[in-house]
Structures are given as structure tokens and as C-alpha cells.
Amino acid sequence: MTLDMSRCDLNIKSNNSSHHTDLNGEERLIVRRGQPFNITLHLKPGSEEFKLAESSFTFVVETGPLPSEESGTKVSFSLRDTTVDTEWSASASNDPSGNTVSVSISSSPDAPIGLYSLFLEQGWEKASLGQFILLFNSWCPRDAVYMQSESKREEYVLAQHGQIYRGTYKRIKGTPWHYGQFEPGILDICLKILDKNPKFVCDPDEDCSARRNPVYVTRVLSTMINSEDDRGVLVGEWDEILDGVHPLDWIDSGEILHLWAESGPVRYGQCWVFAAVACTVSRALGIPCRVVTNFGSAHDTDANLVIELLFDESGNRISSDSIWNFHVWVESWMTRPDLGPEYDGWQASDPTPQETSDGLFCCGPASVKAIREGELTKKYDAPFIFAEVNADVVNLLQLPDGEFVKLSGSTKSVGQFISTKAVGTDERLDITHQYKYPEGSKEERQVYEKAQHHNKLHQQQQEEESGLHIKLAHDMVVGSDFEVCAVLTNNYKKTRNCTFVFFARAISYNGKQGDSCGFASDKVKVPSGQERRLSLKLQYDSYGSVITPDRLIQLSAIAFDKKATDYHIAEKTIVLDEPDIDIKLTEKAAVNQPVTAELSLWNPLPELLQDCSFTIGGFGLTGVKHVTVKYVPFQNKKSKHYKKYFIPTRAGSSVLLVSFDSDKLKNIKSFAKVVVEESISTEI
């Protein structure tokens, strides 16, 4: 029998709700693979009653510009008694009235993700039933991204707000970020990113077919979030920024993705921005994802798993290897059938363009378990990520004659306090143990030795005790003057006559040194077992004009006794504290009702702030774009209070993100949780 059909109802609202895609809206059908969805076929009046046993029609699904059965981008399937959870299948039942036929369609749990067209074939006739988007499904046990924990699925797939950790390992600060994967238009942009990747351009059908594999998709995103090899999303910039948007000014991914869709690569991003956008796109496509920060992150340029930091006698660093104060990447959850089940789970990938992999600027996904065990032959890019979290460090001083003298070494300074947002709270979760065994432990050293073996290196640098360290002040608030101290201890039996140098300079989070902002030196005689101190006063008049918006200052102390060929060096990076934005809502939040946010901020600087502005935003609170309001100059050492109202458009829990910017005080961010109630009608 054939169906004389008048229309097809995709039941968008109920399907999207059961597939956890209702936050995308009700404009179109968005489902997750391996899980049935229901459609309703409406028959024309007077049509013959539907009988399953006599049906002779076929459903066809197609994705990509060149769908084919060979690549799995085109699949045909007929009705059966019930759907199955291993392949595309359909079952049907008719309404007692005989006017409609309810059809349940289940996609394959390893079907390629993307935009699909659904057809009904009867003989030689082919009728379009509509389109739908198919996503990865962490609720489906047969899907490669399956997560057993509902709370983790809510955090790593559905949560639209998070914390990204920055600063130094001694002063870790969470910065709020709005991922916004369910905002209008974002899913389309994410699919567009896949369609712009070089592999799609070369072979569209092969690329679309490969989108069944989250490993493949994650590697594509690692390439496409940066714009080094293609017209990807973000342009990276770590030097002085004179155009575009400074990376510190971004507070959400949605604005970046919309700008890219409208006009191409967006200027500018740095590691946390690259990672945040990658997290948004991954979650939008259904891949569980989280943002991870590694403090004391090594950049090993020659892949020998040793960070060789070279200095001249003035303390200037002259090496290509470096240690970033922090570096941010993402982890995505998936199985690794290409590596073996023991490497399933979190996979690290890094969209920040640092080194090439297979000829492109991408990194990962690499199994975090493989990194922890030093299994560096496991793809992708495990040696580079291993070095970021577990490389040994050697400090070398270049003498005027060109000879290098070893100052000190460390096996513990790289890879500290590896952090991500905890599930269900805004607390920091330390996941260092997932990347490495405890520092200095037998297991950690064994893993390092194994990693060296994989890289054909059999030397191991041991940590040496330094008689030089730096002590910090308790209150180091931007705008204040404070004093730091270098302490030199003579651990030898004889008196030492040393040249003692202590200086400060601005530094970026990626280790790039800036201008000097303090210097002190002395000739000291240090008897055995005694110490000498050299103080350095850091004044705002000196550091205020040279620090970057990261508010980082690197302190370096060098002490050497040339006669005894005894050299010591100590370094410490400090991050200046910032004022807090106080946020208060004057009334309860309700849909379509204005809510006033009272914002207050203290200016800690001893000078006037110009070009002041507050920016507020949040999903369902301020619309797609954030609201920026400029204010009059801000007096020094004073508090300012501002009011700004917004009108929520969606009920439920959300987060109001607030940032303050000015000519001299930048990157001040805070947030407040907001629970929006349904609008209460006053009509009788």
C-alpha cells in the first residue's frame, strides 16, 4: 500500500525536549544520535487506512553535498516492528482515526553528525519530509561520547557558563565565561566551521563521513578555531595590540562566533579565548568538553622533554624554550578505539597555534591517561602535551666567552595546579593527578624516564638546591607601592664575595618579557651559614605604564661569585590583585520584566580613569549581544556606583557577566547568578 500524505509534522517541541536540545529553540528539529525521535504523517482526507503489514515505503536520510551509501552519508531503511539501537531503523503505528501515522525513527549511534534531509520513497516517488540536525549523544551508551553521570552531562554538555582559571600557581583566579552553545545561530555557525575546514574542501563526502568519529571532529576543531592554516575563527596575537579586540576584553564565545560568521577571522585571541571557543563548539555538537588550565606550562620547541632556559649575565633570557605562567586548553570525553579501551575518557586538545602537527597548527586529541603513563607513541601529539605538564627544567648562564654554566635545575616547576571548573559548582577542581603522578615520586620519575626513552633521550636533569630565593609582600594591589626582597644564603663552608642583582620587568602570561620596572644591585660578603637581603621597591609610577592587562611582573635575582665559579638565579612571577565589582539586583528577575543591576567598583589607582565602561551580558538576560555603557571619568582612590537595567527573556537559571574597562585599569570581571521566574500576569 502507498501513503497519500498531506504533510509531515516533525514534532519539534517534544523531540527537542527528549533529546536535550530544547534550549536551541523550537524552530527546527535537533536530535542526538542513537536515540529515537517521533514524526507524524498526516494523510489526506479519504485516504486508505494505514496497515503496517502492507506498507511498501522506505525512509532515506542524507547528509553532506555528495551523499552516498558507500560512505554512510546516505542510508535507506524500511519499517520494522520496533526500532533497534544499533543502526538506522523505523517503526510505525496508526491513529485510531486513521488520519495520521506515527513513526519512530532511530539513528545509528555512530552516524555522522550534521544537517540531514529526510525523505519518504514510494516506488519511483520521493517526498521530502523535512530536515533535522543530528548531534553526538552523551546520553546513549553506544555513542562514543557516552557519559554515565547525569551531573557530568549537565556540566560538560548543557552548561552555558563556566570559570576559566588564570594568573600564577600561587594566585589562581577564576574568570567567568559565557559559552552560549544554545544561543540563536550558534549551532549553524559550528556546522559552518566544519564545512570550512581544509579536509572538507578537498573531499566533502569523505570529510562528512568521518564526522561520525569525535576524535576526527575534535582534531578538525583544533585546526579551525585558530586561523593559521585557513580562515579559522580566531587570529592569535601576543605582541602589542593596536587594532581589533584585546583577548582580555572577551567574556563570551557567542560574539566571537557571530563575528567570524559575518566577516571571517576575528582579531584577537590568546590561549583561554581559543580554548573557550573550542569548548562552545564541542558542546554545541554534543561532545562533552571542559576548559583546563595548566600553571607553569612548558613550551618545548625542540621536543627533547627538557626546557633549557638560557640567560646572559644581565639576566636576559635568550632561549627559544619557555615556561608560560599558565596555558589553557580543552579536554573532550570520548572512547579511543584507535588506541585501545584503556585510553578512553578525557582527551586533551589545544586550538592555540604553537607548533604544527601533520603540517597544520593543531594539537590533539591526546589521551590524558597516555600522558600520565608516558605513552608518547599514542596519537595525537602526546609528546608536546607531556612536556607542557612534566618537562624537566635546566637554567644555564652564558658567560661573555660564550661558555654556558649550569645554574640550577628543577623536576617540579612544570605542570602545577592543573585546574578546571568542578561539576555543578563554581569551585576549582585540581586534576593534576590525572596528568602526572605526584612530583618526585618513584612512579613520576619512571614515567619521565620512559618518556625520554620514547624520544631517544636517556639523560635526566636533577633538581639542585639554590641558595637564593625571593620573598613577596602581603598586599600587592595594582596601583599600590610595595617592597619585595631577594634572600641569598651561603650554604658553603667558606665566605662568598658575590655580585647581587635584583630586578623586575613586566611580563606576559606566555613568558614574553617586557620593559623593566625596577632594579637594585650590591656587592655582598656572605659568611658561611649566613644570609644577605636585597630589597626592591616596586612603585606604581614605574610599573603602571609597562605592565600588560595581565598585571604580571617577573622578579629575577642573580648572585655570582666569579672566583669560585658559583652562580645562582631565582625567578618569581607575581600577579597584582585587582578590585572587585560588586553586583546587586534590586528586584527579583522575571521574564519580560525590567531588572536593575547596581554595580560598584573601587578605583585603586592614584590617577584618574578615562574611557570607563561597564559591559553586562548573559544568556536569556540581555539578548544575543552584550550591553556596553560608557561613563564619565573615574576619580582616583574613589568608589563609583552605577545602575543598569536589563529585561530577561527566558525563565530559569542564568549568569550575569559584568566587566569593567578603562584606559588604565582593564580586564576587571565578575558575575552574579540569576534565577529568572516566569512572568506573573496582573490581569484578572
Residue 380, preceding peptide bond in cis (omega within 30° of 0): yes
The 3-class secondary structure across 372-427, one letter per residue, is HHCCCCCCCCHHHHHHHHHCEEEEEEECCCCCEEEEEEECCCCCEEEEEECCCCCC
Q: Which residue has the cell 603522578?
A: 437
390 is in an annotated binding site: yes
What pLDDT shows up at residue 457?
37
| Rounded average pLDDT over 72-90 | 94
Stronger pLDDT, 196 or 635, i.e. the higher one: 196
In this prediction, residue 460 has a pLDDT band, given cuts at 50, 70 and 90, of very low
What pLDDT shows up at residue 459?
32
What pLDDT shows up at residue 34?
97
Number of helical (H) and strand (E) elements in the chain, helices listed first: 13, 37
Stronger pLDDT, 456 or 599, i.e. the higher one: 599
| Rounded average pLDDT over 85-89 | 95
Q: Which residues contact 441 (CB under 8 A, 6 or more apart)?
A: none
Whether the CB-CB separation of 669 and 581 falls below 8 Å is answered with yes
Average pLDDT in the chain: 89
Options 1.10.1060.10, 1.10.10.60, 2.40.37.10, 2.60.40.10; CATH for 467-575 is 2.60.40.10
pLDDT tens digits for range 408-431: 777 788 899 999 999 999 999 999
Write the CATH number of the domain with boundaries 581-676: 2.60.40.10
| Rounded average pLDDT over 88-103 | 86
In the numeric block, which cell numbers belong to residue 435?
A: 596528568
How far out from the chain centre does Cα 399 lie? Answer: 41
Catalytic residue (one of 178, 258, 299, 327): 327
DSSP secondary structure of 86-98 = SS-EEEEEE-TTS
Domains 5-135 and 151-451 share a fold: no
- Asked if residue 390 has pLDDT above 60, the reply is yes
Query: Is 258 designated active site?
Result: no
Question: How far apart, in Å, are the Cα atoms of 569 and each of 406, 494, 514, 630, 679?
Answer: 10, 20, 19, 46, 63
| Rounded distance between C-alpha atoms, residue 84 and residue 76, angstroms | 15
In this prediction, residue 58 has a pLDDT band, given cuts at 50, 70 and 90, of very high
* High-pLDDT (> 90) share of the chain, %: 63
pLDDT tens digits for range 320-357: 678 889 999 999 999 999 999 999 999 999 999 998 88
| Rounded average pLDDT over 591-598 | 92
Stronger pLDDT, 121 or 2, i.e. the higher one: 121
Options 2.60.40.10, 1.10.3720.10, 2.30.110.20, 3.10.105.10; CATH for 5-135 is 2.60.40.10
| Rounded average pLDDT over 421-449 | 87
Domain 151-451 in this protein, CATH class:
alpha beta
How far out from the chain centre does Cα 629 lie? Answer: 28
Query: Is 271 designated active site?
Result: yes
Query: Is 205 designated active site?
Result: no
pLDDT tens digits for range 496-542: 899 999 999 999 988 888 999 999 999 999 998 888 999 999 999 99
Q: Which residues contact 70 (CB under 8 A, 6 or more apart)?
A: none
Phi, then psi, of 32 in degrees rounded to 5 = -110, 145
| Rounded distance between C-alpha atoms, residue 329 and residue 363, angstroms | 10
In the numeric block, which cell numbers belong to residue 408?
A: 640550577
Whether the CB-CB separation of 33 and 134 falls below 8 Å is answered with yes
Q: Which residue has the cell 521530502?
A: 128
**Entry pTM:** 0.85
What pLDDT shows up at residue 302?
65
Whether the CB-CB separation of 655 and 161 falls below 8 Å is answered with yes
Q: Do the bridges between strand 482-489 and strand 531-538 make them parallel or antiparallel, or are there none, so unpaired? A: antiparallel
Nearest Cα to Cα of residue 394 among 294, 507, 298, 500: 298
Stronger pLDDT, 408 or 576, i.e. the higher one: 576
Instruction: State the burial class of residue 107 (Cβ atoms within 10 Å of its Cβ: 0-12, 13-18, 19+).
Output: buried
In the numeric block, which cell numbers belong to residue 657?
A: 557577566
Domain boundaries, the chain: 5-135, 151-451, 467-575, 581-676
Q: Which residue has the cell 606566555?
A: 510
> Which stretch of 39-53, 339-353, 565-579, 608-622 has the lowest confidence by average pLDDT?
39-53
Q: Which residue has the cell 580554548?
A: 275
In this prediction, residue 205 has a pLDDT band, given cuts at 50, 70 and 90, of very high
444 is in an annotated binding site: yes
pLDDT tens digits for range 472-500: 988 899 999 999 999 999 888 888 899 99
